[in-house]
Amino acid sequence: MTYAGVTGIAHPFPEAPAEGEATEIAPGILWMRLPLPMVLDHVNVYALDDGDGWTLIDTGMASTRSRAIWQRLLDGPLAGRPVLRVIVTHHHPDHVGLAGWFQQQGAALLMPRTAWLYARMLVLDEQPLPAAEAQLFYQRAGMPAAMLAERAAQRPFNFCDIVAPLPLGFTALADGSTIHMAGRDWDIRFGSGHAPDHATFWSGDLILGGDQLLPGISANIGVYPTEPDADPLADWLASCRGFQPLALDSHLVLPGHKLPFTGLPLRLTQMIDNHLGALNRLLGHLAQPHTAADCFLPLFKRDITGPAYGMALVESVAHLNHLLHQRQVSRHLSDEGAWLWQRG
């Protein structure tokens, strides 16, 4: 299989597999989908044929529906053979959610050490109400007082609500090492920014890209209360630039969401330019002081409300933090306790 000579971004497999079904991407490599209860309503997962069983790449969220779909896949496209290994690209719930469930059935778990530590810590950190530090973080970001008060009285998002318990024991994946799957050797290359130490896998003309390499949509680059002054956008831009010398138009990327695609060199350029353009628009907006919550329109070219508000807010903070680290903006506290950011 080769896609040499292809330019631009193309989708050689234009139809996603139906629920409970699989599409063969290459010999011994199956593409499947699981539903997600959000605007981005699916996650891609992959099964690699290792002869006497399967290696899975990512698992979807922990839910009764996802477990039932997996059972249909195991009984059908996966031909009743066992899952021997589960590889998780990064620690986010839609990727690690059912890893522990497979472990409990005898599968080995492999993932980057940082990802496993984050996932296990978060699974064990159940909070009935938001922590004071989290409320302060969102106040500093400019979340409206009524929204803050509403959040203070509600159970926050908890990892354990959609991620199965992770038993002790895993194998750490290392950046720059190799792994054998589906009769191929794969080079493991880490990215960062969307998640620390996000694993991608490269073998010939195939790449398992997770959320590090997505077509058409941008991975969320967010700052959270756990590390409020972080600069994940710098990590993201450095990762994209680091992948550029390796990327070929002939690569077929199997992403964590949307459709498999070719045209990775162009896509990496788009991913970089998307954020550079947003930073330039943001600097123009910050001729006058604004909170992070006031920066959605220049960043995303639209106002954002409803379920996507939280992700937009943490991404706004990420871009502002990046400008702060670059010494292009300054900030001071408003009377309401929010950071006001301004150019210069």
Dihedral sign for Cα atoms in the order 313, 314, 315, 317: positive
Q: Give 281's contacts (C-beta < 8 A, 6+ positions apart).
A: 298, 299
Residue 80 confidence (pLDDT): 85
SS3 for 206? strand
User: How many Å apart are CA 155 and CA 133, to the nearest integer?
Assistant: 15
Q: pLDDT digit string (tens) for 221-255?
A: 999 999 999 999 999 999 999 999 999 999 999 99
Residue 3 confidence (pLDDT): 40
User: How many Å apart are CA 110 and CA 201, to the nearest integer?
Assistant: 13
Residue 4 confidence (pLDDT): 44
User: The pTM is what?
Assistant: 0.96
Residue 2 confidence (pLDDT): 40
Cα Rg of the chain, angstroms: 21
User: Which segments of the chain have a pLDDT < 70?
Assistant: 1-7
Q: pLDDT digit string (tens) for 61-103?
A: 999 999 999 999 999 999 989 999 999 999 999 999 999 999 9
Give all domains of the chain, ordered by start, each with its CATH number: 23-158+168-343 (3.60.15.10)
